[in-house]
Amino acid sequence: MLIAGNWKMFKGAAEAAAFCRGLREAALPDGVDVVVAPPFPSLAASVQALAGTEIGVFAQNCHWEREGAFTGEVSAPMLRELGVYGTIVGHSERRQWFGETDETVARRAAAALEDGLHVIACVGETLEEREAGKTHDVLRRQVGALEHDENLVIAYEPVWAIGTGRTATPQMADEAHETVKSLLDVPVLYGGSVKPGNAAELLAGPAVDGALVGGASLDLEPFLEICRAATPS
């Protein structure tokens, strides 16, 4: 099981370091891999605070070029130099607000993987697409843009459940995960309003390999509760 905390645009360097120190002192369950994804300015502090542990630090994005005139972007070699373990790509907020497409997500993922980073690539449908019965078509399109890699993980995050408090039922999550795995043989995380109260039920699905946690990863104890809920039975 993999539990990844996506901090989005929260936690400056000092706050991130304090959280990471608390995380490294906590008793994490066996059989559960844990990563955190701070904003760019907090990556170095997080890497330093978690040095010598098995807890990985991920970036929230990565450009497809190694260097160049791409103002506001960060490359895989820059992340590796900081000691960053991996990166998220294609989060629904990147697709919604910053013009990410299936093509750019695939290019970002390929570049990060080629440079030795692990990647969590996000896919998922909007509410309109789900209500129109297009969930599986959307997943086929988004997953079809990616290529298999042993360091690639996919996060299924229904867009209608991101930051809304709405959550897919365990059956809905498991069906979507089965679709993803039929297209690409990689681990699949569930993301979308994962909380301590629903984590165990969501993570119990046979096709669910972990969770990409947003808001509930910002406070230590709720995040630890989710990590404990992922303990293999």
Query: For residues 214 and 159, what is the distance between their CA atoms, to the nearest angstrom?
Result: 13
Token pair belonging to 188: 């699949």
Identify whether 157 is a catalytic site residue: yes
The beta strands (E) that lie in the chain are given as 2-6, 33-37, 56-59, 86-89, 118-123, 152-156, 188-191, 210-213
Cβ 188 vs Cβ 1: under 8 Å: no
Rounded Cα–Cα distance for residues 192 and 214 (Å): 8
Please state, in angstroms and rounded to a whole number, the distance separating the CA atoms of residues 105 and 101.
Answer: 6
Name the active-site residue from 93, 100, 125, 157. Answer: 157
For 67, list phi and psi in degrees, rounded to 5.
-165, 170
Closest to 83 measured CA to CA, from 62, 60, 58, 120: 58
Concatenating the DSSP letter of every residue in 172-223 gives HHHHHHHHHHHH--S-EEEESS--HHHHHHHHTSTT--EEEESGGGSSHHHH
| Options 63, 91, 118, 177, the catalytic residue | 91
The 8-class DSSP code of residue 26 comes to S
**136 noted as active-site residue:** no
Instruction: List the catalytic residues.
Output: 91, 157
